[in-house]
Amino acid sequence: MIITSTLARIHLIAILIVMSTFAWASDPLPSWKDGQTKTRILQFVATVTDQNSEHFVPPAERIATFDNDGTLWSEQPVYTQLSFALDRVKTLAPQHPEWKSQQPFKAALENDMKTLSASGEKGLLELVMASHSGMSTDTFTTLVLEWFQQAQHPRFNRPYTETAYQPMLELLAYLRNNEFKTYIVSGGGIEFMRPISESLYGIPPEQVIGSSIKTRYEVKNGNPVLTRLGEIGFINDKAGKPVAINEHIGRRPIAAFGNSDGDQQMLEWTGASQGARLMMLVFHDDKEREYAYGPANGLPASSSGHFSQNLMDKAKKNNWTVISMKDDWKTVFPANN
């Protein structure tokens, strides 16, 4: 009786696996609503992988690049890396009593986001330099991993790693199953993203391109280390993205995905060549399930991700696809475990 019951359970599991596999094969993007956006993705992949198509692309040339903040995971109410920097500043504050009266550190310690935002890019860079440098690359990686293990998104009450968008996770997997190589090309810190990119997105660290600070090789106590310095190395944003793609990848993408003005040049670079190309922008227009901001289409402007009306107009003119979070996605985040 026990053996029969066990065999029955094994048989049921086998049936469920087959059904699940069939369901994925019949719809590799189950979190995407049926419509023009989903159809365009499926048709593009079918075209470039069909050896009989005039637009066939060999696997080695199937490069897809993705921005991270606001494209693969949530960037509100502030960028995830900024949340990390703010927590680091508070941890380091006892060693820096001058920060109590020195901006932008005073604003960070008092959670005064209005003043912090008014400090602009210069102020944010000061926070990042103070909280991200003066340590080895290995130490920084450990700090990042420890932070991700305990930090939670203030609105969704879930780890930041669980604010990745389920439809985009499916898209990444779908492309890789069709022999695409997927890259992150983000304005975020390269060494902030790399420790979690493979477990979260299936993207190995060598396929992550981001902004960087300078590092220096040193030998300490007989051990070679790379020390992070308080100097900007490269800002991987706007026109910097095509430059970084050329330097790091050496091939022009055939697909590019972004969500803000900072991604415009990456999409332009991708589309400025012959053959089938896919350029897409995630538009945050779903304040119920996530956030709604622009200022395109009359939505409120945001310092974390800026989708201007000019970018929206350019997308229409260049036949780029604007992904409506509200209209194109059945769900936004993965189901809680």
Q: What is the CATH number of the domain that holds 144?
A: 3.40.50.1000
Could you tell me the pTM of the whole model? 0.91
DSSP lists the bridge partners of residue 215 as: 228
Question: Is pLDDT larger for residue 313 or for residue 116?
Answer: 313
Interatomic CA distance for residues 145 and 159, integer angstroms? 12
Report pLDDT for 336.
Answer: 73
Question: Is pLDDT larger for residue 324 or for residue 336?
Answer: 324
Interatomic CA distance for residues 217 and 230, integer angstroms? 14
Report pLDDT for 326.
Answer: 98
Report pLDDT for 202.
Answer: 98
Report pLDDT for 25.
Answer: 61
Q: Confirm whether 2 is domain-assigned.
A: no
Write out the two tokens for 195.
Answer: 């420790």
Task: Please give the biggest Cα pair distance in the chain.
Answer: 75
Q: Confirm whether 303 is domain-assigned.
A: yes
Domain of residue 244 covers 27-328
Report pLDDT for 121.
Answer: 81
Mean local confidence (pLDDT), 246-272 = 98
Q: Confirm whether 6 is domain-assigned.
A: no
How many domains are contained in the chain? 1
Q: Taking Cα atoms as reference points, which of 284, 239, 235, 247 lies closest to residue 263?
A: 239
Contact 129, 148 (CB under 8 A): no
SS3 319: coil
Q: Confirm whether 185 is domain-assigned.
A: yes
Contact 106, 99 (CB under 8 A): yes
Interatomic CA distance for residues 132 and 134, integer angstroms? 7
The torsion of the CA quartet 266, 74, 116, 151, rounded to 10 degrees, works out to -130
Per-residue pLDDT of 282-322, as tens digits, reads 999 999 999 999 999 999 999 899 999 999 999 999 999 99
Q: Confirm whether 271 is domain-assigned.
A: yes
Least confident residue range of 108-122, 204-218, 318-332: 108-122
Q: Confirm whether 321 is domain-assigned.
A: yes
Report pLDDT for 145.
Answer: 98
Angle at 300 between CA 294 and CA 301, to 5 degrees: 60
Q: Confirm whether 21 is domain-assigned.
A: no
Mean local confidence (pLDDT), 62-76 = 98
Write out the two tokens for 135.
Answer: 């340590």
Contact 249, 63 (CB under 8 A): yes
Report pLDDT for 337.
Answer: 53
pLDDT at 235 over 80: yes
User: What mean pLDDT value characterizes the chain?
Assistant: 92
Q: Confirm whether 12 is domain-assigned.
A: no
